[in-house]
C-alpha cells in the first residue's frame, strides 16, 4: 500500500511539475477502513503540498466518513454532474496503467446501481433500506465474483469533498496552507 500511495502522489506531483506554484493535493481517505487513513496521513506528513482531510472527533481524526446518508449525497452529486456533462477525465492520468484504470472506471460506473436491502440483504426486522453499490449483480444480489466499486467511490469522494474544500466547509482544514 505504501508504494502504491507514494507512486500515486508522485504521479500527481509530476503532472503539475511544470506549474510555477504546484497545487495543494488534498487526500480524502475513507475513515471506515480501520487506521489506514491515519497511516496514509502519517506516511505523507512531510510532503509540503499534501494535506490529509480530517473530519471526526475533538481534534479531527484522519479520514472522511462514508455514512449511508453521505453515500446518498455522493450519488446525487455525481449524478447531477454527469447529467450536466460536468465530469471530464484528463488526458493524463496518474496511474501505473492509465488505459486499464479508465477501462476499470467505466466498467465500475456501468455496474454501479441502486440496491434495496430487500433483494440483497434483508434485515432481521425486514426494514427496507436503499443503498448504492457496484458489488452486486444486475438482479441486486450480492455476487460471489470480485465485483468492485472503488473507483466509483473515489470519483464520488473527489466530487463531494472538492466542493467542501472550495466552499471552506472543512472544519479541520488549515486553509492558510493554500495561500502561502
What does the pLDDT look like over 57-84, one tens digit per residue?
888 899 998 888 998 999 999 999 999 9
- Tell me the pLDDT tens digit for each residue of 165-180: 999 999 898 888 877 6
Specify the pTM.
0.83
End-to-end CA distance of the chain: 31
The chain-wide mean pLDDT, for the chain, equals 86
Helices 150-166, 68-83: axis angle to 10 degrees equals: 80
| Contact present, 152 and 112 (Cβ < 8 Å) | yes
| Pairing label, strands 113-116, 25-27 | unpaired
Helix axis angle, 2-15 to 36-43, nearest 10°: 50
Percentage of the chain beyond pLDDT 90 is 49
Closest CA to 115 of 68, 66, 157: 68
pLDDT at 10: 94
Amino acid at each position: 500500500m505504501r508504494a502504491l500511495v507514494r507512486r500515486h502522489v508522485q504521479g500527481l506531483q509530476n503532472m503539475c511539475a511544470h506549474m510555477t506554484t504546484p497545487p495543494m493535493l488534498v487526500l480524502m481517505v475513507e475513515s471506515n477502513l480501520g487506521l489506514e487513513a491515519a497511516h496514509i496521513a502519517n506516511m505523507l506528513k512531510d510532503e509540503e503540498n499534501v494535506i490529509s482531510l480530517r473530519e471526526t472527533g475533538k481534534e479531527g481524526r484522519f479520514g472522511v466518513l462514508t455514512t449511508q446518508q453521505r453515500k446518498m449525497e455522493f450519488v446525487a452529486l455525481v449524478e447531477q454532474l454527469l447529467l450536466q456533462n460536468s465530469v471530464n477525465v484528463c488526458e493524463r492520468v496518474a496511474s501505473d496503467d492509465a488505459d486499464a484504470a479508465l477501462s476499470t472506471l467505466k466498467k465500475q460506473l456501468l455496474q454501479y446501481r441502486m440496491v434495496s436491502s430487500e433483494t440483497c440483504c434483508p434485515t432481521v426486522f425486514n426494514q427496507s433500506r436503499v443503498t448504492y453499490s457496484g458489488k452486486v449483480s444486475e438482479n441486486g444480489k450480492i455476487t460471489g465474483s470480485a465485483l468492485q466499486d472503488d473507483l466509483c467511490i473515489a470519483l464520488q469522494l473527489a466530487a463531494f469533498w472538492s466542493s467542501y474544500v472550495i466552499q471552506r466547509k472543512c472544519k479541520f482544514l488549515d486553509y492558510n496552507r493554500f495561500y502561502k
